[in-house]
């Protein structure tokens, strides 16, 4: 890997993201706060589009997955049961191979994992992973609560409420999109590792005997999703198989992609066995089994999880889309080749002259009902194309004087820069067939 080239690309992306209103450093006028980022006008459009794409894929098109929107703060016992609280404020290091976590002051040899004997340990770090807060007027231990470190725990806790309300039977899944907070010791690589981020998680509950079947199913589904919807091919995405697993896990893979700084984890797909539901049964004292009335069996649900970071998806898309290329009469154009389905602006509507703004504006209002559109009447057409290229707009519509006569417009394709004359009456179909993810 060419580190210098990667760093230059990352700098360019960070700077474009700020200049064009995708991502800003949080609280910048106060010097920023490490590990926190704000999404600007184009950023939030794209973020919502990614959420919608995922939600449609994982919830709306499936009869056996329900949605949930839980609170960020929940009962502190949830984090006791999940194991998050036990590795709290000690100096810890992780074994990258078997995932065992060690208190450095209790290790015989700080270079060797006492669990698997390997030497592949992370740097020791202070483990204040959970973000602490207080609920109520008194700031003491009794009122301590935590911001969720992952969106999946409330899914486990709400499993039976969702099941009863939705009348679902095993196997079925519950999905959630929302903020997660981790007091990362070393936030880095732009939005790749931050302290506040958004996760999109789906927990699929099934019978233990079918666990591996569903694990394979979800792995295939998620890879297909990235290929078909976001265009992540084999040169961009790879599967990393965990050989040594967390003690409760039966199987786990990461989907890794080529981020602007190199390969990194985008999504984890995990076969978590019955660990989560058993733990919540143990800590809550409430029965968490599922009763299979047909089979007359009590089942502790096995969980298959698909867990992806929205911000990492965003960064992967930015890195993959970024290109600089020579064009006629100009030195270089910067272009973001986003898939149309997630582009912040899908159609730029550009009147050739300000004299045409009225008619072009009407068309813009009509099309904006179906696509994410932007109206731009300032500057030369060439300049306006470049502006749209830079934010990744896949199509630009030019309304010219002929449009008044022939009721047609010119559609320019961002990537090929080809121009098609399209009758206004056919515009919606023309664009829909090209934009649909
Ligand atoms: P990593 O090993 O990179 O710290 P992880 O294995 O701890 O990640 P999970 O707990 O499996 O991550 O979380 C699921 C997903 O949430 C990750 O694949 C990633 O996309 C996202 N994620 C986790 N931590 C962060 C973070 N600090 N900032 C942004 N996204 C994150």
- Closest residue by Cα to atom 1, ligand 1, is 265
Both 170 and 182 in one domain: the answer is: yes
Q: Which residue has the higher pLDDT, 430 or 186?
A: 430
Both 122 and 246 in one domain: the answer is: no
| CA–CA dist 270, 305 (Å, integer) | 5
Which residue, among 261, 206, 209, 185, has the nearest Cα to 64 in the 3D structure?
206
Indicate whether residue 182 lines ligand 1 (CB < 6 A). yes
CB 153 within 8 A of CB 79: yes
Decide: helix, strand or coil at residue 76.
Answer: helix
Residues 6+ apart with CB under 8 A from 50: 310, 313, 314, 317, 342
Mean residue pLDDT of the chain comes to 94
pLDDT-derived band at 90, boundaries 50, 70, 90: low
Query: Of ligand 1's atoms, which has the minimum distance to the CA of residue 199?
Result: 16
pLDDT tens-digit map of 408-421: 999 999 999 999 99
Going by the DSSP 8-state scheme, the letter that residue 124 receives in this structure is P
Both 30 and 179 in one domain: the answer is: yes
Alpha carbon distances (Å) from 254 to 244, 306, 387: 13, 10, 36
In this prediction, residues 378-406 reach a mean pLDDT of 96
Tokens of 403: 């449009």
**DSSP-assigned states of every residue in 357-409:** HHHHHHHHHHHTTTS-EEE--SS-HHHHHHHHHHTT-SEEEEE-HHHHHH-EE
Both 378 and 305 in one domain: the answer is: no
User: How far does the centroid of ligand 1 lie from the alpha carbon of residue 42, in Å?
Assistant: 24
Give the end of a domain, one of 271, 302, 318: 318
pLDDT tens-digit map of 42-67: 999 999 999 999 999 999 999 999 99
> What pLDDT does residue 6 have?
84
In this prediction, residues 245-249 reach a mean pLDDT of 86
Residue 196 lies in a domain: yes
pLDDT tens-digit map of 194-216: 999 999 999 999 999 999 999 99
- Closest residue by Cα to atom 16, ligand 1, is 309
In this prediction, residues 386-404 reach a mean pLDDT of 97
Residue 415 lies in a domain: yes
pLDDT-derived band at 88, boundaries 50, 70, 90: very low
Task: Give the CATH number, domain containing residue 374.
Answer: 3.40.50.800
Indicate whether residue 222 lines ligand 1 (CB < 6 A). no
Both 122 and 241 in one domain: the answer is: no
Residues 6+ apart with CB under 8 A from 137: 143
Q: Which residue has the higher pLDDT, 270 or 93?
A: 270
Pocket mutation for ligand 1, best pick of 92, 122, 127, 199 (most atoms within 8 Å of C-beta): 199
Residue 339 lies in a domain: no
Bridge partner list, 180:
197
Task: Give the CATH number, domain containing residue 159.
Answer: 3.30.930.10
CB 286 within 8 A of CB 250: no
Which residue, among 195, 176, 175, has the nearest Cα to 184 in the 3D structure?
195
Q: Which residue has the higher pLDDT, 173 or 1?
A: 173
User: How far does the centroid of ligand 1 lie from the alpha carbon of residue 192, in Å?
Assistant: 8
| CA–CA dist 361, 363 (Å, integer) | 5
User: How far does the centroid of ligand 1 lie from the alpha carbon of residue 309, in Å?
Assistant: 6
Both 140 and 271 in one domain: the answer is: yes
Both 136 and 202 in one domain: the answer is: yes
Residue 324 lies in a domain: no
Indicate whether residue 306 lines ligand 1 (CB < 6 A). no
User: How far does the centroid of ligand 1 lie from the alpha carbon of residue 11, in Å?
Assistant: 22
Indicate whether residue 153 lines ligand 1 (CB < 6 A). no
pLDDT tens-digit map of 123-154: 887 766 899 999 999 999 999 999 999 999 99
Query: Of ligand 1's atoms, which has the minimum distance to the CA of residue 192?
Result: 29
Tokens of 64: 């056996």
Query: Positive or negative CA dihedral for 232, 341, 37, 129?
Result: negative
Q: How many alpha carbons lie under 13 Å from residue 211 in its C-beta half-sphere? A: 20
> What pLDDT does residue 123 have?
86
> What pLDDT does residue 125 have?
76
How many angstroms from the chain centroid is the CA of residue 421? 37
Tokens of 311: 């911000």
Both 285 and 390 in one domain: the answer is: no
Phi-psi map region of 329: left, alpha, beta (phi>0 left; psi -120 to 50 alpha) = left
Which residue, among 77, 95, 83, has the nearest Cα to 276 in the 3D structure?
83
Both 66 and 94 in one domain: the answer is: no
Instruction: Flag the least confident range among 106-115, 343-352, 381-390.
Output: 106-115
User: How far does the centroid of ligand 1 lie from the alpha carbon of residue 178, in Å?
Assistant: 13
Both 113 and 189 in one domain: the answer is: no
Model confidence pTM above 0.75: yes
Residue 170 lies in a domain: yes
Q: Position of tokens 């926190």? A: 36
Both 290 and 360 in one domain: the answer is: no
> What pLDDT does residue 89 have?
54
Both 165 and 19 in one domain: the answer is: yes
Range of the domain at 378: 345-435
* Number of domains composing the chain: 3
> What pLDDT does residue 106 have?
78
Indicate whether residue 197 lines ligand 1 (CB < 6 A). yes
Residue 160 lies in a domain: yes
Residue 206 lies in a domain: yes
> What pLDDT does residue 437 have?
56
Indicate whether residue 267 lines ligand 1 (CB < 6 A). yes
Residue 202 lies in a domain: yes
User: How far does the centroid of ligand 1 lie from the alpha carbon of residue 308, in Å?
Assistant: 7
CB 198 within 8 A of CB 178: yes
Work out the percent of the chain whose per-residue pLDDT is above 70.
97
pLDDT tens-digit map of 15-33: 999 999 999 999 999 999 9
In this prediction, residues 300-305 reach a mean pLDDT of 98
Alpha carbon distances (Å) from 313 to 45, 160, 357: 14, 31, 37
> What pLDDT does residue 258 have?
97
């Amino acid at each position: 890997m060419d580190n210098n080239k990667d760093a230059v690309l990352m700098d360019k992306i960070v700077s474009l993201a700020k200049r064009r209103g995708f991502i800003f450093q949080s609280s910048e006028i106060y010097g920023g706060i490490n590990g926190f980022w704000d999404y600007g006008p184009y950023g939030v459009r794209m973020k919502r589009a990614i959420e919608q794409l995922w939600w449609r894929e994982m919830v709306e098109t499936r009869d056996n997955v329900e949605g949930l929107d839980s609170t960020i703060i929940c009962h502190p016992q949830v984090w006791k049961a999940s194991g998050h609280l036990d590795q709290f404020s000690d100096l810890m290091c992780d074994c990258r191979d078997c995932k065992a976590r060690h208190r450095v002051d209790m290790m015989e040899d700080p270079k060797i994992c006492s669990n698997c004997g390997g030497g592949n340990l992370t740097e020791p770090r202070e483990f204040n992973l959970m973000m602490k807060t207080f609920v109520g007027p008194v700031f003491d231990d009794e009122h301590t609560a935590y911001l969720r470190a992952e969106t999946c725990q409330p899914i486990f806790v709400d499993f039976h409420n969702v099941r009863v309300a939705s009348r679902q039977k095993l196997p079925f899944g519950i999905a959630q999109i929302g903020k997660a907070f981790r007091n990362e010791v070393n936030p880095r690589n732009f939005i790749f590792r931050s302290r506040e981020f958004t996760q999109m998680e789906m927990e699929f509950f099934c019978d233990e005997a079918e666990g591996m079947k569903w694990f394979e199913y979800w792995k295939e589904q998620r890879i297909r999703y990235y290929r078909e919807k976001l265009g992540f091919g084999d040169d961009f995405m790879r599967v990393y198989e965990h050989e040594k697993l967390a003690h409760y896990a039966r199987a786990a893979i990461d989907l890794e992609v080529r981020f602007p700084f190199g390969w990194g984890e985008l999504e984890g797909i995990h076969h978590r066995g019955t660990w989560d539901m058993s733990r919540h049964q143990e800590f809550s004292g409430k029965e968490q089994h599922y009763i299979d009335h047909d089979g007359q069996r009590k089942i502790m649900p096995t969980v298959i999880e698909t867990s992806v970071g929205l911000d990492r998806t965003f960064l992967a898309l930015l890195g993959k889309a970024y290109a600089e290329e020579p064009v006629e009469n100009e030195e270089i154009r910067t272009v973001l080749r986003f898939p149309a389905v997630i582009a912040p602006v899908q159609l730029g509507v550009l009147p050739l002259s300000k004299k045409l703004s009225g008619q072009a504006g009407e068309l813009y209002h009509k099309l904006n009902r179906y696509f994410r559109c932007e109206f731009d009447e300032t500057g030369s057409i060439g300049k306006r194309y470049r502006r749209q290229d830079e934010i990744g707009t896949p199509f630009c519509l030019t309304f010219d004087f002929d449009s008044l006569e022939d009721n047609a417009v010119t559609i320019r394709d961002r990537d090929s820069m080809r121009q098609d004359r399209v009758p206004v009456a056919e515009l919606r179909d023309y664009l829909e067939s090209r934009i649909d993810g």
